[in-house]
Structure 1
Amino acid sequence: MRKLRVAIIGYGRSGRNIHRKLLSQLTDLFEIVAFVDKDPQRRDLIREENNCEVLSDYIELYGRADIDFVVNSSFSCNHSPISLELLKHGFNVLSEKPAAGSAEDFKKIMKTAEETGKSYYIFQQYRFAPSYRKVKEVIKSGVLGRIVQVNLNYSGFSRRWDWQTVQDFTGGSLFNTGPHPVDQALDLMGFPDEVKVVCFMDRAHTYGDAEDYVKLLLKSPNVPVLEVEISSCN
């Protein structure tokens, strides 16, 4: 079986420490053929740590037929526009979360994927975490009886001052961390067509203008209440 050839956009925490690390452990299935990063220092680091092509702009990928899919681990605010352009240029795309900053932008991506016949995926790996799958197994077994509420808590104490604390970069706890517990919550609910949502957000001590505290309550008929808390001020 031929290896899948991959290009990765972004050599930050996600591109370098998550996607590169994972794909490098699966060399029988994947081959990283190119990294893309605008930062010259990051490009130097790529050359030190990898044996592949190094590019400064993702548009340099256009027209290439030797890439099976592209990992979009750019800034969060660029996930939607870059994924859209990659699909239009004939690439299969694996996007980091958040997939988009609005439902309207996400619908454009899905429409483009359908029109181009290309595959589009979001990296929601927490849905497959062993601990979460065990929780699902226990709930499904019925051993706990009728469940009224399920709490998902992603909390601790931290103070950030990077771009992920800035709203213009699609920062904040709901976009940064939220896609994981919200995806788990919706999965536990069976991905219903309609969900009633109550949301509280606050900015306690982050250096940016985005929230670092989120409380969500989700409810649909015939399923437990799902409570999601994301906090860096616990």
Structure 2
Amino acid sequence: MNETPIKVGISGLGRSGWGLHVAALGRVQGLFEITAVFDPDPVRQQEARAQLGCRAYGSYAELLADSDIELMVVASPSPHHADDTIAALEAGKHVLVEKPMATTLADIDRMIEAAEKNGRLLTVNQNYRYAADFLKIKEVVASGVLGDLLLIRLAQHQFRRRWDWQTLTEFGGGILNNHGAHYVDWALALIDDPEPELLAHLVDTPLYAGDADSHAKVILRPKTGPLVDIELTHACAFPQQTAVIMGTQGTLSSTREEVRWKYYKPDE
């Protein structure tokens, strides 16, 4: 265990900053220490001081100027990810930025360039990549017991209504940006093609108060290998499997809680 905890700053104490990152860092005490946070809401600032015992700032500039911070967690709204990340890198901080990494490819390129220029580490919080169900899925696929893969079907089905900033396109909202980042990441890890052909259909429905998509269908067609079908929706009251993978020798079916697979051995 690291004898000196890494000192962490958190930008944004919303659903991700407070609900995910503060909670996660609290589970690995001794490795990380929340040194300071930024949120424009004075109530959130006071909660952080009282519950975390850290410094709390009302501006991002103040957080950047805190010389104790080694690692910056950028959990601000998506349109701010690029500029907030670049500013932190230029201030000498390593950065963990919440997904989606940014709202445009050009911004992502700027972020990578800033990390390289300043000699800092930059990574994205693709936490589903390390989820127990996906690690088992990768293990089964890599074992070859399913044979040659024919179809990968991934889905996130929920029945819910939202009215926060992630329902607005001006803030980079929508189910594809919010949840699709996880499942596209899964898909790219399971196929041997970093740039498959992409077909997408986004639907703006009355499920959201805003104008962003609440239902999305994405098809990825690699040069070789299985077709990938990704479905994301907040309109399904009867959720189906998170993953179904069909191969020439077997099938895998999983939820977030359970992974099952059935196959035959052609030589037996």
What TM-score does the superposition give when structure 1 sets the normalisation length? 0.96
Partner of 1:101: 103
Partner of 1:13: 15
Give every structure 1 segment of 4 or more consecutive aligned residues whose post-TM-superposition deviation is greater than 2 Å. Answer: 61-65
Partner of 2:177: 175
SS at match of 2:223: coil
Number of residue-to-residue matches in the alignment? 233
Structure-2 separation of matches of 1:50 and 1:180: 29
2:90 matches 1:115: no
Partner of 2:230: 228
2:43 matches 1:46: no
Contact 2:188 2:194 in 1 (8 A): no
Residue by residue, what CA displacement relative to the aligned partner does 1:161-206 show, whole Å, maximum 9, x if unpaired?
111100111100111111100101111114x243100000101221
Contact 1:72 1:95 in 2 (8 A): yes
Gaps of 5+ in 2: 237-268
Contact 1:204 1:233 in 2 (8 A): no
- % identity of equivalent residues: 36
Structure-2 separation of matches of 1:121 and 1:146: 32
Contact 2:97 2:124 in 1 (8 A): yes
Structure-1 separation of matches of 2:194 and 2:205: 33
Contact 2:89 2:114 in 1 (8 A): yes
Partner of 1:153: 155
What is the root-mean-square deviation in Å for CA atoms of aligned residues? 1.2
What TM-score does the superposition give when structure 2 sets the normalisation length? 0.84
2:67 matches 1:65: yes
Which structure is larger by alpha-carbon Rg, 1 or 2? 2
Q: Report matched runs for 1:80-229 at 5 Å.
A: 80-190=82-192, 192-205=193-206, 206-229=208-231
Q: Which has the higher helix share?
A: 1
**What is the Cα deviation at residue 64 of structure 1?**
3.5
Contact 1:204 1:212 in 2 (8 A): yes
Structure-2 separation of matches of 1:3 and 1:49: 19
Gaps of 5+ in 1: none
The amino acid that maps onto 1:202 is V
